[in-house]
Amino acid sequence: MSARELHSTKDDEKVIDQIDIKDVEYDDQDPTHLALEETEIDQAYLNASKSTRFYRGTLFQMFMFGALSFVGPAMSDAITNLGGGGLSTPYLANLATSLQYAMSCLMTLFGGPLINKFGIKWSCMIAAVTFPLSGSGYYVSAKHKVDWYLLFSRILGGFTSGFLYVGETTAMLSYPHLHERGKYLGIWSAMRNSGSVVGGAINFSNNSKASSSGGIAWSTYLIFIGFECTGVIWAFLLSATKKVRRSDGSKVPYSRDISWKAEFVALWKHAQNKRTWLVFMPAFYSFFYGGVYGTYLSLHFSVRARALSSLIIPTAVIPMVMAYGSMLDNKKWSQKKKGWVAFGMWAIPQAACLIWTGIEYSKFAKEGKIAYDYSIHGKRWAEAYLPYFIIFTTGYWTQLSIYWILGTFSSDVKSSSRTGGLFRAFETAGQAVSYGINANTGDKKIPLYVLCVVFALTVPCMTALIRLIPERPAEHDDIADMDKAIIAREQMEQATS
């Protein structure tokens, strides 16, 4: 078969998955080389002590990533879940959060090459050092009314958190076997939400008597800062990727290091790929709702109702993500079937909630400005709060399903970092735009209308993406290495003919 004929077939990606590349050599400076070691079982690891196997195993790494999320993003989320960062009005917090995610977007856009050069462990360490900036920024603003430090802390923290975003995403996509990925995604997400449960409990215990609107007690932020300071410990305990072993003793697929120039050429190939742009809108949507509904909560609910929300949301999410992960590991269903089921589980309730929220806004206009409280307004509070609850809880399913889908294409660490970096860039761009809109617009129905449009565009993109899901991931970069893989197959066919 000629190269032209092979390029024209619809089975290119299936062909590449079957290629044996161990006898093919390439220039180290070529970004499309397939210099990937054949998957092998590490007998020394299997013969090591239980403590060593556990420490180097995928499960322990997931626990460490979960711990990092527990004391970093989860604490930040607990503050955000108060609506407006717990400040008396949401506008400064929305501006600060928008700037934070804009910086994260900039970093994660080029995160693939950076992570591949620095390594996942040290990238997470860079992020962990700046975790305390999040809580301290809100503390200084709430107590001393110094707004510039909040903006500064969020901008710097946004840039460094991008290292964690890409690092943990790369690990989630490449460390576990495909049939275990749902379980590990569930563990990581559950641990992250455990941090939010703790944060929510702190919020509620410190603010349970405030039945009016306004800001939370400033001492609340000090407890968050204490948790955030422990991040460096969990980052230090991570193993270098080349030392990580899967449950059966196999190494994580890890292609050889290439030059900076070659890394950016490979990243450019990923940026041009159809699959990358199909994931753009779902990733953008998967966090866009945060700014819209965070403002919704801040403007229409009492302080203690917001504090209670920051507790009950993650408490509900933990069993939900564990069950969702088990569904994704179901061996009786094909990969595509699991993709369709996962899509339906979050898309249908979220579509209903968007309509529900529109109805609530029309009621708010008639009722005037009321800070709904669970003990005062009862049924009316529940009616207004439920769409927020459903959007945020099923929103984690949205994110996990995209992680899982991306992980079905390739398990190579270098490929996952490029894919994961672009995915997180799209995701943080959604957050930045969402909070930016909510920091400036007077009519809060406008961001809701924008969210509805983004959701409508997400549905066909997800449909097309699910249709591309293969039955097993490639162990090389199936985008950057596609051309060389085809040539390698032709060479082998010629050698055997």
Neighbours of 395 (CB within 10 A): 21
Q: What is the DSSP letter of 18?
A: T
**Where do runs of H (alpha helix) occur along 120-273?**
120-129, 132-144, 147-174, 181-207, 220-228, 231-236, 260-272
Neighbours of 264 (CB within 10 A): 16
Residue 357: pLDDT over 50? yes
Using CA atoms, how far residue 354 sits from 257, 349, 350, in Å, is 46, 9, 6
Region of residue 214 (phi > 0: left; psi between -120 and 50: alpha; otherwise: beta): left
> Residue 461: what residue type?
C
> Residue 409: what residue type?
F
Query: What percentage of the chain exceeds 90 in pLDDT?
Result: 36
Report, as an integer, the average pLDDT of 352-371. Answer: 86
Domains in the chain, ordered, with CATH? 57-495 (1.20.1250.20)
HSE-up (13 A, CA, CB side) for residue 95: 13
Rounded Cα–Cα distance for residues 391 and 388 (Å): 5
Instruction: Write out the two tokens for 81.
Output: 């879940």
Buried b / exposed e over 431-451, threshold 16 CB at 10 Å, is bbbbbbbbbeeeebeebbebb
Which of these, 438, 429, 393, 428, lies nearest to 196 by C-alpha position? Answer: 393
Q: Give Cβ neighbours of residue 145 (< 8 Å, ≥ 6 apart).
A: none
Lowest mean pLDDT among 18-27, 242-251, 338-347, 439-448: 18-27
CB 404 within 8 A of CB 261: no
CB 210 within 8 A of CB 304: yes
- 95 three-class SS: helix
Rounded Cα–Cα distance for residues 314 and 293 (Å): 16
Residue 497: pLDDT over 70? no
Please report which confidence band the pLDDT of residue 87 belongs to, taking 50, 70 and 90 as the band edges: low
Residue 22: pLDDT over 80? no
Lowest mean pLDDT among 83-87, 391-395, 435-439, 475-479: 83-87
Q: Give Cβ neighbours of residue 365 (< 8 Å, ≥ 6 apart).
A: none
Please report which confidence band the pLDDT of residue 15 belongs to, taking 50, 70 and 90 as the band edges: very low
HSE-up (13 A, CA, CB side) for residue 266: 34
Region of residue 8 (phi > 0: left; psi between -120 and 50: alpha; otherwise: beta): alpha
Residue recorded with tokens 């109702």: 305
Region of residue 84 (phi > 0: left; psi between -120 and 50: alpha; otherwise: beta): left
CB 131 within 8 A of CB 229: yes
Please report which confidence band the pLDDT of residue 188 belongs to, taking 50, 70 and 90 as the band edges: confident
Report, as an integer, the average pLDDT of 388-410. Answer: 92
pTM: predicted TM-score of the whole model, two decimal places = 0.77
Lowest mean pLDDT among 11-20, 61-70, 354-363: 11-20
Report, as an integer, the average pLDDT of 268-294. Answer: 91
Residue recorded with tokens 């990581």: 188
Rounded Cα–Cα distance for residues 386 and 389 (Å): 5
Residue 389: pLDDT over 90? yes
Residue 398: pLDDT over 70? yes
Residue 426: pLDDT over 90? yes
Which of these, 127, 112, 113, 8, lies nearest to 76 by C-alpha position? Answer: 127
Residue recorded with tokens 């190269």: 3
Helix 303-328 to helix 335-367 angle (10° resolution) is: 160
Average pLDDT, the chain: 81
Residue recorded with tokens 């939010």: 196
- 82 three-class SS: coil
Please report which confidence band the pLDDT of residue 434 belongs to, taking 50, 70 and 90 as the band edges: confident
CB 296 within 8 A of CB 451: no
User: Length of the chain, please?
Assistant: 497
Report, as an integer, the average pLDDT of 317-336. Answer: 91
Per-residue pLDDT tens over the stretch 118-150: 999 999 999 999 999 888 888 887 778 788 888
Residue 32: pLDDT over 70? no
CB 246 within 8 A of CB 58: yes
Residue 92: pLDDT over 80? no
**Where do runs of H (alpha helix) occur along 208-302?**
220-228, 231-236, 260-272, 274-300
Residue recorded with tokens 């920091």: 439
- Sign of the alpha-carbon dihedral angle for 113, 114, 118, 123: negative
Residue recorded with tokens 């504090």: 307
| 245 bridge partner residues | 57, 251
Report pLDDT for 341: 95
Using CA atoms, how far residue 193 sits from 73, 320, 346, 388, 497, in Å, is 10, 11, 18, 17, 57
Instruction: Determine the Cα angle at 397 with ends 414 and 128, to 5°.
Output: 50
3-state secondary structure 379-405: HHHHHHHHHHHHHHHHHHHHHHHHHHH
